[in-house]
A and B are shown apart, each in its own frame.
Chain A
């Protein structure tokens, strides 16, 4: 087993608002190992982006970390000063955001913008020729013609701009990349190309990646390990193949049962009743219990801890043994 690189340990984070505290991350723990691809999946508002921002030290001003630690190579990132964190960002952890392709400054050349990031963050210092060579290499790595370095963002298509963003994320040789919905705004063929490329780059460079997506099909394709989030809680965590074959949290089970696919038998999908809860005022006990078909009385009062049910497969549910095998429904 490779070395643990990033450990999120019982993290609790609330957003302070005028209406009260919004419980965005509630007691979330996971470990990212070297060279591993972890996927965090969940619906809007489940806290997956809040986790990404916390890992990068970019949480909103009203975010309050009440408990827990985020340890990178043993250092608690939450204890660092903003300046120390700035030095970690890009060098240790970098990011590819949703819609980042639209964040290029239109009046600077793409190459110059990557150079700027390297000037600010990259140690060792490189000569400008070395920087040039490195950017050219990065362009090749992400499937862009190095001749595009001196072009402006408007000369790139959407997919190319996103590739250039990935090149920028790789520019300082990070240990971890956080990819938050990296392909959401792209067409399916371009999405596929970029995901395959990210996967290949990750394998080549032995990097760790955290993918964040609402699309479990994307997560299925690119990750080794998956964490399913619901309403600020991590409800299931385990090897991707294991969780997809035997989801044991009712939410994960229903999410998988309600995802249409172009392969396999044409199934009747099971809808998830109700809507996600308001995190200003989260349900007591298990946060999923109001929508859960397997809920019992205990679920509305006692919060289930996340526990190991099989080697490395963790579930936070009192009644996980009631959850049936997948794929009983046929259209």
Chain B
């Protein structure tokens, strides 16, 4: 087994529910609640779920835009091959080095860029901050990046402002900015959901191509299972702060085990009018995990719930074979079957 690039252990994030000025909050939204997963070098993991399930919060914690409430995020260090380091304990003076390794691509290309900066300023800023190269070298590097992301000739784009670019072009600039430091891990939070269908595929193809060239791993956050299928080697399905199922993409989509995954998959519109739907009716609507009870998070909506679900705690992720993990009392484990 190779050393994972990233290892997340028992990661949680609680947000206090404001009760009023100067009052100590007693209620918390459990946005992310004790999740565990690993990402191997060069692998892309899709984090899938509906709005409010905690997928963006997870992504932000991984790039340290947000502190975790508890748990650990361990990352391998390219230069020191021995151990994984806990990103919470990175000393201040090493933070810059951490930022070289970990980058983020945001959803909205209209808001993630400073409107008063040119493309050159935007893409070269990471280099400036990290003190890499002379101005001349930076110029060359930025031009090369623009060419790689399909903005060529680069001279035509270097001194344009974001408002002079289309949505797809902006997202290309955002990708160039994220990859200019040659990171090993990129969190991509719905990078194509604001784009038109015809542009979407070219951006996704670009990200796949660059993942190969730069040997970068993505945590690809999306609500769209079809997009996750195109982009990711593995998929993790989140529901109210918990990962309920994780495994190889085709295995999850072809053989979903958790009731929520089944429901999600059956609800995805299919671009084929002859496709016959297998309706999985789940109950009610999504709620917020404010001080959630100990039982299974999905209990209230699960049409198959049994007594065991009501009397036990939220089930842990269990291996159902071949790295397919499911958190459900009702799905037999590989061990039990054997």
Contacts and interface: CB of A to CB of B under 8 A. Distances in A.
B331 interface: no
Contacts of B15: none
B50 A271 contact: no
Contacts of A160: 285
Interface in B231-263: 250, 253, 263
Nearest to A213: B269
6 contacts: A188-B223, A192-B269, A244-B272, A245-B274, A269-B204, A271-B202
Contact of A271 (B201, B263, B266): B201
B202 A263 contact: no
A255 B198 contact: yes
B269 A221 contact: yes
A214 B225 CA distance: 17
B interface, size bucket: 35 or more
Nearest to B301: A189
A17 interface: no
B268 A262 contact: yes
A285 to B, nearest CB: 20
Interface string B188-231: 00000000111111101100000000000000000111110110
A241 B273 contact: yes
A43 B198 contact: yes
- Shortest beta-carbon contacts, A-B, top 8: A192-B267, A217-B269, A272-B198, A260-B226, A271-B202, A187-B50, A43-B196, A217-B271
Contact of B230 (A157, A220, A223, A269): A269
B227 A221 contact: no
B289 interface: no
Contact of A241 (B199, B230, B264, B274): B274
A270 B198 CA distance: 9
B264 A258 contact: no
Interface in A248-265: 254-256, 258-264
Contacts of B168: 275
Interface of B: 50-51, 166, 168, 196-202, 204-205, 223-227, 229-230, 250, 253, 263-275, 277, 279, 282, 285-286
A29 interface: no
A44 B266 CA distance: 27
Contacts of A190: 285
A42 to B, nearest CB: 9
B230 to A, nearest CB: 5
Given A215-B269, A221-B270, A241-B273, A258 B285 contact: no
Given A214-B196, A241-B273, A273 B226 contact: no
B259 to A, nearest CB: 12
Interface string A115-148: 0000000000000000000000000000000000
Nearest to A195: B269
A191 interface: yes
Given A43-B196, A260-B227, A189 B270 contact: no
Given A220-B275, A264-B272, A272-B202, 7 more contacts: A44-B196, A157-B285, A192-B269, A223-B273, A259-B226, A261-B272, A269-B204
B197 A43 contact: yes
